[in-house]
Amino acid sequence: MSHETALSEPVLNMVAAKYPRMTPITHIEDYTPGGRVMSQTIGAGFFSNVFGYWPWLWGNTRVDRFTVLRVD
């Protein structure tokens, strides 16, 4: 597939094997402002200091990304 995708490669391959005639339609991204507990971008690392030393921070970084697929 030449389309940029939010799916990881193993997941994309599994879905493509089951549905060979799928077409990525769009991506939906959530940038809703709010508290972040794991964000390397803003330095929040509640569960790991690899992400940052603050337990949580307010931010508007991407929370989720979804790929909408059309399956024929």
* pLDDT, average across residues 39-58: 86
Q: What's the pTM value of the predicted model, to 2 decimals?
A: 0.51
Q: Is the pLDDT of residue 8 over 80?
A: no
- pLDDT tens digits for 17-32? 888 888 888 888 888 8
Which contacts (CB < 8 Å, 24+ apart) does range 56-62 have?
A: 58/33, 58/34, 59/33, 59/34, 59/35, 60/31, 60/32, 60/33, 60/34, 61/31, 61/36, 62/29, 62/30, 62/31
Residue 6: pLDDT band (50, 70, 90) is low
